[in-house]
Amino acid sequence: MLPDIAFFDAIAEAAAAETLARFRMPGAIDNKHANGFDPVTEADRAAEKAIRQIISDRYPEHGILGEEHGDVGLDRDYVWVIDPIDGTRAFISGLPVWGTLVGLYHKGKAVMGMMDQPFTGERFIARPGEATVSRNGKTSRLGTRQGVSLDQAIMMTTSPKIFAEELEPSYKRVESRVQLARYGCDCYAYAMVAAGYIDLVVEADLKPYDVGGLIPLVEEAGGVMTTWSGGRPEKGGTIVASGSAALHEAVLELLNRG
């Protein structure tokens, strides 16, 4: 039996207690990358710890895949996928486009997901058959934009620098065709696809915890999310999220053109 929405609300509130208290406040920033910059803060670590505790107390038989505190039971039927702060670079820059991501996989497929942005008061949650957003105590259903052609599309990616040399030409083919390309919103961009404000996200080098909470949001809102080759996106890698199947097909054709 899948958790109810109240369980996701509890997770979001516990994480927000750790993140909001540290947002736009001075604090230590550690670098996880020896040859670059991959920041992590006490807010990341504390929020994931709080999330894991709630899940373990309620569902001790489930597995957990987390960005900051390791993995447990990844061979189990149900696995929770956690990114306590997706967009830590935005977090440490004071920009409210980060979010707490929590996804639930059943036998490897994402079936429920959440993106919570506590500073703006937006909570996006998806379960089978429904995707919603709650703002200021009001909940409404999410729906992607349909009937948008590639030359009308608004596209986002976290940064054009995330594409390896061999992938950059493929990405550039898509960027050159859309009406508007914007950078820098991490998980928030996928929520905007689900909400029908933008049409497309194209990214690469993503991990499972970067996408686990977002896949159900996009899919249950009427969109499509796959790898660049058209496969399931649960393991991350190269990712495309589109508001419609027709737009998705057009983007995949460009990305895979020789």
Residue boundaries of the structural domains of the chain: 5-141, 150-255
231 SS3 class = coil
Q: What is the pLDDT of residue 33?
A: 66
Q: What is the pLDDT of residue 240?
A: 98
Q: What is the CATH number of domain 5-141?
A: 3.30.540.10
Q: What is the pLDDT of residue 136?
A: 85
User: What span, in angstroms and rounded, lies between the C-alpha atoms of 177 and 233?
Assistant: 24
DSSP 151: G
Q: What is the pLDDT of residue 100?
A: 98
User: What span, in angstroms and rounded, lies between the C-alpha atoms of 147 and 153?
Assistant: 10
End-to-end alpha-carbon separation of the chain, Å? 45
Beta strands (DSSP E) in the chain are 29-31, 39-41, 63-66, 70-72, 78-86, 99-106, 109-117, 122-127, 130-135, 138-141, 154-157, 180-183, 200-206, 224-227, 237-242
> Which amino acid is it at 103?
G
**CB-CB contact of 93 with 85 (8 Å):** no
User: What span, in angstroms and rounded, lies between the C-alpha atoms of 104 and 89?
Assistant: 25
Q: What is the pLDDT of residue 30?
A: 80
Q: What is the pLDDT of residue 6?
A: 97
Q: Which residues of 218-247 are buried (b: 16+ CB within 10 A; e: fewer)?
A: bbbbbbbbbbbeeeebbebbbbbbbbbeeb
User: What span, in angstroms and rounded, lies between the C-alpha atoms of 52 and 86?
Assistant: 16
pLDDT in tens, the chain (258 residues): 899 999 999 999 999 999 999 999 988 888 866 667 778 899 999 999 999 999 999 999 999 999 899 899 999 999 999 999 999 999 999 999 999 999 999 999 999 999 999 999 999 999 999 999 999 889 999 999 999 999 999 999 999 999 999 999 999 999 999 999 999 999 999 999 999 999 999 999 999 999 999 999 999 999 999 999 999 999 999 999 999 999 999 999 999 996
User: What span, in angstroms and rounded, lies between the C-alpha atoms of 243 and 36?
Assistant: 33
User: What span, in angstroms and rounded, lies between the C-alpha atoms of 171 and 92?
Assistant: 27
Q: What is the CATH number of domain 150-255?
A: 3.40.190.80
Q: What is the pLDDT of residue 29?
A: 85
